[in-house]
Structure 1
Amino acid sequence: MTTTVLLVDDQPLLRMGFRMVLDSQPDLRVVGEAGDGATAVRLTAELAPDVVLMDVRMPGVDGIEATRQIVASGGASKVLILTTFDLDRYAFAGLRAGASGFLLKDVPPDDLLAGIRTVAAGDAVVAPSTTRRLLDGFAHRLPDLDDTGSGPGHRPFGAGPGRDGADRLARLTDRERDVLGEVAAGLSNAEIASRLVLAEGTVKTHVGRILGKLELRDRVQAVVFAYEIGLVRPSANPPRHPD
């Protein structure tokens, strides 16, 4: 099967570079390009790509708002955010908006290709441990979405410390809540199975049920939910990122 991709970046040279990498693969096909978020939303509706490779900072509608609109439309297209270390807060906002993961803009070509394929398959592109380190790094200073420039009051998948998040957490059994905590701690299914003395297949089943009950798309959103609801807390000494 061929995975179709929409490239979204306001820099034509970057789009050209990404297109060359993707078009070199027999299972990937670029079906369109956009230089701003509004065009990205329109082309996603028209072309229904499997994956939207989304820049964050663009003129007009930015990548976060475009991601929110694409996810809210209910289509099958998955969004993969492109970011840099100094834009961590935008990466987090993108995940809250419904993106299936993120990559750094200087990612090696092989990792970019693997990430696109992973997202197209319905999984998160970021390993749980990497997600945990990222969230630990800036959860201390994370503002409400209002401070990201994405507007007030948006809770795309209903997380957060409010009543809605607590009500959804209450849908889980005690064992599912235990598994969610381990997922948020950055453990793989095998590690969770070992810690909770379960079969790995049972853990996988629990994770699927957790995502369904909480109305989440993947493990990345599960980690975000766990942070927002207060099920886990950021480390006392977050890692430092380069300026």
Structure 2
Amino acid sequence: MTIRVLVADDQQLVRTGLRGLLERDPEIRVVAEAGDGREALRLAAELRPDVALVDIRMPELDGLTLTRLITGDPDLAGVRVVVLTTFETDQYIFEALESGAKGFLTKTVGREELCRAVRVVAAGEALLSPSVTDRVIAELSRRPEPARSAPERLSALTAREREVLAMIAAGRSNTEIGEALRMSPLTAKTHVSRIITKLRVRDRAQLVTLAYETGLVRPGGTPPDGTPDR
């Protein structure tokens, strides 16, 4: 099955480079390019790509606004957004996460990582690269310590589901979770779906945020009891 991708960036050279990298993968096809956010929104509605690679800084509509408009439109529920950023100077990663982006990539990413990200996100999972995860954790660590009542938000979860949530926060895929907990990837995926439903969040990316906000996992990958996260 071919993964259909929309590339949105205001720089022609970047769009051309991304297309060239992506289309070396026989499973990926770039169906359109957009030079600004408004054009990207129109093309997303018209073509319904599987994945939209969106630059944060664009004219007309910036990437954050575009992400919110796409993820907030029920008619575009099948379009998954991956944010492109210059990272070192961009201050909006955390906001993009909360806006519903399914993945984050820097513009220095290599071809294999780029194509892997597209495949992972197209399959319905969220992708947070280690550098971006570190940035999200750093932002959360600057916030006040969770209130004692915060863990009550996780009271609906079983002990196994809390284990799975901690592994999601550590960036583990369904396959890796399954291997660590001796279950099939399908069973791991079922646990993830149940956790999302119970906690009433949009996706895995928001689960990562919630895990840190509630104190289930702390910066450095350590649970509240001080034992290293598996």
TM-score after normalising by structure 1:
0.73
Contact 1:88-1:138 at 8 Å conserved across structures: no
Deviation at 1:216, TM superposition (A): 4.0
Distance 1:67 1:81 in 2: 8
Q: Deviations over 1:54-95 (max 9, x none)?
A: 100112321011101101112200001111332564222212
- Pick one of 191, 194, 200 that aligns with 1:209: 194
Contact 2:94–2:139 at 8 Å: present in 1 too? Answer: no
Aligned pair partner of 1:115 in 109, 114, 117? 117
Unaligned runs of 5+ in 1: 143-159, 237-243
- What CA deviation, in whole Å up to 9, does each residue of 1:146-203 have, x standing for no partner? xxxxxxxxxxxxxx98x9x9886444334323432343244566776788xx433354
In structure 2, how many angstroms separate the alpha carbons of the residues matched to 1:166 and 1:189?
Answer: 24
Please point out which of 141, 158, 162 is paired with 1:177: 162
Q: Is the 8 A contact 1:168 1:213 kept in 2?
A: no
SS at match of 1:85: coil
Q: Which residue of 1 aligns with 2:137?
A: 136
Query: Which residue, 214, 219, 222 being the options, matches 1:234?
Result: 219
Relative distance call for 1:52 and 1:194 in structure 2 (3 A) is closer
**Number of aligned residues:** 214
Matches within 5 A, 1:147-226: 169-186=154-171, 198-201=181-184, 203-226=188-211
Aligned-partner SS, 1:82: strand
Aligned pairs for 1:41-80 within 5 A? 41-74=41-74, 75=76, 76-80=78-82
Greater RCO (CA < 8 Å, at least 6 residues apart): 1
Deviates more, 1:49-58 or 1:21-30: 21-30
Label 1:3 to 1:187 Cα distance change in 2 as closer, same or farther (>3 A). Answer: closer
Where in structure 2 are there 5+ consecutive unaligned residues?
222-230
Shift of 1:214: 2.8
Instruction: Tell me, yes or no, if the aligned pair for 1:101 and 1:125 is still in contact at 8 Å.
Output: yes
Cα distance in 1 for partners of 2:87, 2:103 equals 14
CA–CA separation in structure 2 for the residues paired with 1:176 and 1:97: 25
Partner AA of 2:95 in structure 1: A
Contact 2:82/2:104 (<8 A) preserved: yes
Structure 1 pair 215–34 and aligned structure 2 pair: CA distance change class (3 A): farther
Identity of aligned residues (%): 48
Deviates more, 1:219-228 or 1:180-189: 180-189
Separation (CA, whole Å) in 2 of partners of 1:141 and 1:118? 30
Q: TM-score, normalised by structure 2?
A: 0.77
Q: 1:104 maps to what in 2?
A: 106
Q: CA RMSD in A?
A: 3.2
Distance in 2, matches of 1:188 and 1:26, equals: 23
